């Protein structure tokens, strides 16, 4: 059996688009599933628009997503002599002809069809495809020619790429035929749309992989999310490890219809990954944004805070913001809901805080003891525990949702927490 050899062939004329990343991921998954090779070819023949920075951004994006490639990186621009040789060969063999100095491929009449791994049989007529230029008069190759010469040289067995390339495929098949080379399997992966059903674009929000990295998405979550854009592992499981995806990935599992890039789902998925990632692993990702916010704290304190908030966060930036609130009172800002709650009964809010301060002063600062102390206080005052917990939560965080209040108190620390409660109580005018 021949070894599966697939490739991702980005043009370094822009950043790594999520659609490109998804194509790369499918190729990578297929290679790893089949014990094959995943190759990378930088299609930098458009010298005017290709830059080294873009190449670097694309490589960084793939690396961030954990998509490691095999063999040496191929630069299409370095293969130009080879493209020219092949065009000259077709010219000599009469399969191509000169036209104003350019070399044009003769497209014979008759059917050009292939069994697409995603869509089934797709067929064009040679008559409908005009003879096309493969080498310009300045001897630079065109995409539909260079891509085939390179795929043959790299012994590519499966070409998996976006649906937008379907119209190129008959031209490329004509090149394979002219060169007398066997066809690879073609599989065209459906497009990614925005929630409005239109092709995903910047109008829908961030479309660069790097943007999601900077917004605080974890690479494993992004990879999992991208995998489900146009692929179904079967069943309704959505959270899959790298190895599970590799094991389950098949070309048959690629869906025929366009998928929807839903950022709410991405955030949900990222939240799932955040909740299962140990605080130590999140530390470095949170430390940067924390420093940017101007928050200070020792490692142990930051780790405690990460552990407390990560299950209620959607991104690592979100984690950092919540950690900052727990490290330093200057980040506490009363949100609208909190203000409304205080406004309902300012006197009750104040009285509850004052009583809590009194009760907490002598408390042992462990989550168990704090819980007991506050429940006992609620009982003494004859109120529901929430009446004690919620004012503390608001005073310590400025919001109405957080980890359990005993954990929150523990994370903020005794001296800092008592101070915040006292100041909050004093600030209420009744
Ligand atoms: N450079 C082409 C692109 O980025 C490659 C297409 C292909 O995979 O053949 O669209």
> What is d(CA 149, CA 71) in angstroms, rounded to the nearest whole number?
18
- By the 10 Å C-beta count (0-12 exposed, 13-18 middle, 19+ buried), 3 is classed as exposed
Ligand 1 atom nearest to CA at 10: 4
Mutation test of ligand 1: which of 7, 11, 39 has the most ligand atoms closer than 8 Å to its C-beta?
11
Question: For residues 368-401, b (16+ Cβ closer than 10 Å) or e, as one string?
Answer: eebbebbeebbeeeeeeeebbbbbbbbbbbbbbe
> What is d(CA 192, CA 198) in angstroms, rounded to the nearest whole number?
9
Ligand 1 atom nearest to CA at 172: 9
Rounded mean pLDDT, 33-44: 98
Measured in Å, residue 428 CA sits from the centre of ligand 1 at 63
Given 198, 202, 256, 330, which residue is catalytic?
Answer: 202
Mutation test of ligand 1: which of 10, 116, 142, 144 has the most ligand atoms closer than 8 Å to its C-beta?
10
Mutation test of ligand 1: which of 12, 14, 23, 43 has the most ligand atoms closer than 8 Å to its C-beta?
43
Measured in Å, residue 207 CA sits from the centre of ligand 1 at 18
* pLDDT higher than threshold 80 for residue 200: yes
Mutation test of ligand 1: which of 20, 46, 154, 165 has the most ligand atoms closer than 8 Å to its C-beta?
165
Structure confidence at residue 227 as a pLDDT band (50, 70, 90): very high
Tell how strand 102-105 and strand 132-135 pair up.
Answer: antiparallel
* pLDDT higher than threshold 80 for residue 65: yes
Residue pair 331/293 in contact (Cβ under 8 Å)? The answer is: yes
Helix-, strand-, coil-residue percentages of the chain, each rounded to 5: 55, 15, 30
pLDDT one-digit tens code per residue, 290-326: 999 999 999 999 999 999 999 999 999 999 999 999 9
Q: Which residues line ligand 1 (CB under 6 A)?
A: 9-11, 43, 147, 161, 165
Q: At what angle do helices 367-381 and 385-397 cross, to 10 degrees?
A: 120
Ligand 1 atom nearest to CA at 161: 8
pLDDT of residue 297: 93
- Spatial neighbors of 260 by CB under 8 A, at least 6 apart, are 192, 193, 194, 195, 197
Annotated active-site residue 202? The verdict is yes
> What is d(CA 40, CA 9) in angstroms, rounded to the nearest whole number?
6
The CATH code of domain 76-189 reads: 3.40.50.620
* pLDDT higher than threshold 80 for residue 1: no
pLDDT one-digit tens code per residue, 18-27: 999 999 999 9
Measured in Å, residue 384 CA sits from the centre of ligand 1 at 63
Measured in Å, residue 166 CA sits from the centre of ligand 1 at 11
Measured in Å, residue 10 CA sits from the centre of ligand 1 at 6
Residue pair 66/25 in contact (Cβ under 8 Å)? The answer is: no
Across the chain, mean pLDDT equals 97
pLDDT of residue 244: 97
Ligand 1 atom nearest to CA at 147: 9
Residue pair 359/329 in contact (Cβ under 8 Å)? The answer is: no
Greater confidence, 430 or 109? 109
Write down how long the chain is: 430
Q: Which of 194-203, 328-337, 357-366, 392-401 has the lowest mean pLDDT?
A: 194-203
Ligand 1 atom nearest to CA at 151: 9
pLDDT of residue 47: 86
CA atoms within 13 A on the CB side of 196: 8
Q: φ, ψ for residue 369 (rounded to 5)?
A: -65, -40
Percent of the chain topping pLDDT 90: 96
The encoded tokens of residue 324 equal 């900052």
Measured in Å, residue 155 CA sits from the centre of ligand 1 at 16
Cα angle for residues 189, 194, 195 (degrees, 5° grid) = 120
- Spatial neighbors of 305 by CB under 8 A, at least 6 apart, are 297, 322, 323, 326, 327, 411
Ligand 1 atom nearest to CA at 20: 4
Rounded mean pLDDT, 27-55: 95
Which residue's C-alpha comes closest to atom 4 of ligand 1? 10
Measured in Å, residue 107 CA sits from the centre of ligand 1 at 22
Measured in Å, residue 299 CA sits from the centre of ligand 1 at 46
pLDDT one-digit tens code per residue, 105-130: 999 999 999 999 999 999 999 999 99
Rounded mean pLDDT, 259-283: 97
- Spatial neighbors of 138 by CB under 8 A, at least 6 apart, are none
Percent of the chain topping pLDDT 70: 100
Which residue's C-alpha comes closest to atom 6 of ligand 1? 9
Structure confidence at residue 427 as a pLDDT band (50, 70, 90): very high
- Which of 375, 366, 379 is closest to 407 using CA atoms? 366
Which residue's C-alpha comes closest to atom 3 of ligand 1? 10
Which DSSP state fits 310?
Answer: G
Specify the CATH class of 5-72+191-263 in words.
alpha beta
Compute CA distances 304 → 371, 403, 420, whole Å.
Answer: 18, 12, 19
Rounded mean pLDDT, 82-106: 98
User: What's domain 336-427's architecture?
Assistant: Orthogonal Bundle (1.10)
> What is d(CA 289, CA 287) in angstroms, rounded to the nearest whole number?
6
């Amino acid at each position: 059996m021949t070894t599966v050899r697939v490739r991702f062939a980005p043009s370094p004329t822009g950043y790594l688009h999520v659609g490109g990343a998804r194509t790369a991921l499918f190729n990578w998954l297929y290679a790893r599933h089949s014990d094959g090779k995943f190759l990378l070819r930088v299609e930098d023949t458009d010298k005017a628009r290709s830059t080294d920075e873009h190449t670097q951004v694309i490589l960084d994006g793939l690396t961030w997503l954990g998509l490691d490639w095999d063999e040496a990186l191929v630069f299409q621009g370095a293969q130009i002599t080879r493209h020219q040789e092949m065009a000259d060969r077709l010219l000599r063999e009469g399969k191509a002809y000169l036209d104003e100095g350019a070399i044009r491929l003769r497209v014979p009449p008759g059917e050009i069809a292939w069994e697409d791994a995603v869509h089934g049989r797709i067929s064009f007529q040679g008559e409908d495809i005009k003879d096309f230029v493969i080498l310009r008069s300045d001897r630079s190759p065109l995409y539909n020619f260079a891509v085939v010469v390179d795929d043959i040289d790299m012994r590519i067995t499966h070409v998996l790429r976006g649906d937008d390339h379907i119209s190129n495929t008959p031209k490329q098949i004509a090149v394979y035929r002219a060169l007398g080379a066997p066809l690879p399997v073609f599989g065209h992966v459906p497009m990614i749309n925005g929630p409005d059903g239109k092709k995903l674009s910047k109008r829908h929000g961030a479309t660069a992989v790097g943007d999601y990295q900077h917004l605080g998405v974890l690479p494993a979550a992004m990879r999992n999310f991208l995998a489900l854009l146009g692929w179904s592992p079967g069943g309704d499981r959505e959270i899959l490890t790298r190895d599970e995806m590799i094991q389950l990935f098949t070309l048959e599992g690629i869906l025929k219809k366009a998928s929807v890039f839903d950022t709410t789902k991405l955030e949900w998925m990222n939240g799932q990954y955040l909740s299962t990632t140990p605080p130590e692993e999140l530390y470095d990702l949170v430390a940067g944004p924390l420093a940017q916010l101007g928050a200070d704290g020792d490692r142990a304190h930051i780790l405690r805070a990460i552990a407390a908030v990560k299950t209620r966060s959607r991104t690592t930036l979100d984690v950092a913001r919540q950690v900052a609130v727990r490290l330093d009172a200057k980040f506490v800002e009363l949100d609208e809901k909190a203000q409304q709650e205080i406004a309902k009964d300012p006197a009750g809010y104040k009285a509850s805080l004052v009583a809590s301060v009194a009760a907490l002063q002598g408390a042992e600062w462990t989550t168990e003891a704090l819980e007991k102390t506050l429940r006992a206080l609620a009982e003494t005052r004859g109120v529901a525990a929430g009446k004690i917990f919620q004012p503390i939560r608001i005073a310590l965080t400025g919001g109405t949702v957080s980890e359990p209040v005993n954990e929150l108190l523990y994370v903020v620390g005794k001296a800092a927490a008592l101070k915040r409660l006292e100041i909050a109580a004093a600030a209420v005018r009744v």
